[in-house]
Structure 1
Amino acid sequence: MFNRRRREESPAVAEETEPVQARESGPWDAGEPHSERERVDLGGMRLPVDPGFEVQLNLAGDHIVGAVIIFKESALQVHAFAAPKRNGIWEEVRGELAEGVRSADGTVEEQEGPFGVELAARIPAEGGVQPVRYIGVDGPRWFLRAVISGRAATDAEVAATLEDVIRDIVVVRGDEPMAPKEAIELRLPPEARQAMEQQADSRPVPDLNPFERGPEIAEIR
């Protein structure tokens, strides 16, 4: 009896001690090993930058909550949010986004993308219909939402460049308590803050999420 019980329990012990495999691509959590490349440090998010990118920031009131990368007639808008420790929220958020698109008289369908299930939407816009891709990634205690619009929404070559940006984003969740879906606040890097203080005007960026509109500030090159 004793020996038989030990043999039955040994697989469970082996399963518990099996090491967790490192991921090969991001978006990354700040606490895990990740690739080295040039990134803009926005506090709660470290955003990859390459030549030809224009980076602008989204405001909600006085708080910076997201960033936009402009590249080849395309835009990538990214926001990071707090999420529960054990459960991802992309499935729930996906349903909310789909409902919002339909309520705006747009069309939307799920499709498989490089990060799993995403939404392909067509949203009424001035002068026609705007194709948009909604991408979501559940991380450890955070959720990253990415919105691709413009040429990259239908051009695979341009989209690949912006998808690589998503893969190399680093999310800095922090240890403070946050409610699920609460935006992880960002901050300007010191050099950008100094440039903003010297700049009288800022060029507006069109908001790419029709459901959470907010002003945009600060071009970072």
Structure 2
Amino acid sequence: MGLFSRRKQRDAEQADAASTTDEHDDATADSDGLLDQEVEETQDATDEDGADEDVTESDDEPDVEEEAPRGEHLEDGPFDEADAPEEDRIDLGGLQVPTIDGLELRMEIDQRSSAVTGANLVLGGSSLQVQAFAAPKTRGLWEDVRRSLRDSVVSQGGTAETRPGVFGTELITRLPVKRADGRTGYRPARFIGIDGRRWFLRAILTGKALSDPEQSKSFETLISRLVVVRGTGAMAPQELIPLHLPGERPGLDQIRSGPLDPLARGPEITEIG
């Protein structure tokens, strides 16, 4: 019995010494000598065709919110309706989009229900999909959504990694897709999540802006000028804040989206303008 106790103590000391990293607290033993450790694993893999290395993150990743310098190109938003400054905007119901030269607005429509489920803002060949969801009063959704999204992408054979961004921690993904020649390609995307006043805004950036710093800044500025109209009615967390087409009056029925699917996109796109 004494040997078993000494062995557990020695194992605990060795594990404690090996776990001193900047991202994890030191492992501590409880009254029974059992060790409680949090371990982060990063796996790098390169396929035989020389594809980019895959970076996967475990469920034990410490989701510490990181934010890069905000930058002079940004406004103070995205804004809650109550705090939004005066500006010409396109009214989409739950979202208001600033009018920008060259901006093409494409609304996503659920073909079965005819409900508007999202907006795509296209500029210079790149696209920003934006959606707003109801959130609890006491906590944000982005951390949970980011973890769910990362797990979903990795389970489909893609890669996902976090990085600090001007709006906080972002997620950069590469989702495998079948190309016309039968080979597997990857569709990169940049996911930005912003927790607001009882709302959560999700933005997905794709296209040239992912590698073009100036285009990237243009979309960041656009996000910082968006307005979320949450409304005062009761809504369940993760419920899609209703949208409507430009010029239409919003209906009284709220759009129930069920559990938020970070990879979901509308099945049909209607171009406006």
TM-score range, shorter chain: 0.7 to 0.9
Q: Secondary structure at the match of 2:152?
A: helix
Aligned counterpart for 1:39 among listed residues 77, 89, 97? 89
The code of the aligned residue for 2:76 comes to S
1:142 matched residue in structure 2: 199
Q: Structure 1 residues 156, 94: closer, same or farther in 2, change over 3 A? A: same
Matched, 1:154 2:184: no
| C-alpha distance in 2 between matches for 1:56 and 1:63 | 14
| C-alpha distance in 2 between matches for 1:27 and 1:109 | 24
Higher RCO, 1 vs 2 (CA within 8 Å, ≥6 residues apart): 1
| C-alpha distance in 2 between matches for 1:111 and 1:149 | 16
1:14-62, Cα deviation, whole Å (9 max, x unpaired): xxxxxxxxxx611000011x33333110111101231111111112332
**What RMSD over aligned residues (CA atoms) do the two structures have, in Å?**
2.0
The code of the aligned residue for 1:99 comes to D
Residues 35, 168 of structure 1: 8 Å contact kept: no
Aligned residues: 182
1:162-181, Cα deviation, whole Å (9 max, x unpaired): 11111011000001111100
Over alpha carbons, which structure has the higher Rg? 2
1:133 matched residue in structure 2: 190
Moved more, 118-127 or 160-169: 118-127
Matches within 5 A, 1:1-221: 25-32=76-83, 34-60=84-110, 61-127=113-179, 128-190=185-247, 211-221=263-273
Residues 91, 247 of structure 2: 8 Å contact kept: no
Residues 79, 145 of structure 1: 8 Å contact kept: yes
Structure showing the higher helix proportion among its residues: 1
1:117-152, Cα deviation, whole Å (9 max, x unpaired): 010111123442122100000000000000001111
Residue 214 of structure 1 and its aligned partner are, at CA, apart by: 2.0
1:67-117, Cα deviation, whole Å (9 max, x unpaired): 001112211000000000111111001001111111221101000011010
Residue 190 of structure 1 and its aligned partner are, at CA, apart by: 2.2
Residue 213 of structure 1 and its aligned partner are, at CA, apart by: 3.1
The code of the aligned residue for 2:79 comes to W
Residues 76, 162 of structure 1: 8 Å contact kept: yes
The TM-score with structure 1 as length reference comes to: 0.77
| C-alpha distance in 2 between matches for 1:57 and 1:118 | 24
In the alignment, structure 1 segments of 5+ residues that lack a partner are: 1-23, 193-208
